[in-house]
Amino acid sequence: MARIESPCIGICSTTLGDQICRGCKRHSDEILNWGRSEAQARESVMQRIEQLTIDAVSLYFQLLDKDQLHQQLELHRIRYTKRFAPECWIVDLLRVGASRIQDIEAYGLTLTDYARGLSPDTGRHHTSSRLLEIIYQKINRTILEETDRLICEKP
């Protein structure tokens, strides 16, 4: 029997009462029915998660070096969905390391002008860990709100 791919990263907030998981960004019904869902339905959910994440992350970050980001994720043993675009991996990096990162370029990333504008003390090579935590919260909130909106719009 083939393994069913899942966006689960082992952090399920639906067990705490959330309707949309803060870890994998799936609705609780999607999680419960994942194994019984048709492959096309699962793929549609994966694509939705990936696109919403790319859209939210792109407002704050520019990817400079995919390989460098990948190396850092592997080095720090951060769980991420490998099949997703590297922009999606940034959310997993921030989930684990936002409070510890000082030089975002060491991870193959740079902040967009919009993100830099959120904090006046952010220089080119120094990034406030507090700013990264704020950005992570904003990205997560955007993805969760958009997921909820899309699910509510379904016929």
Q: Provide the pLDDT for residue 123.
A: 52
Tokens (6 digits) for 43: 């793929």
Q: CA-to-CA distance for 25 and 8, rounded, in angstroms?
A: 9
Beta bridge partners of residue 20, listed in sequence order:
27
Q: Provide the pLDDT for residue 84.
A: 94
- Mark the ranges of the chain whose per-residue pLDDT is less than 50: 125
Which residues have a Cβ under 8 Å from the Cβ of 41 and sit 6 or more positions away? none
Contact 135, 118 (CB under 8 A): yes
Q: Provide the pLDDT for residue 121.
A: 61
Q: CA-to-CA distance for 148 and 8, rounded, in angstroms?
A: 18
Q: CA-to-CA distance for 10 and 23, rounded, in angstroms?
A: 7
Contact 30, 20 (CB under 8 A): no
Per-residue pLDDT tens over the stretch 75-115: 999 988 889 999 999 999 999 888 888 889 999 999 999 99
Tokens (6 digits) for 58: 């792109």
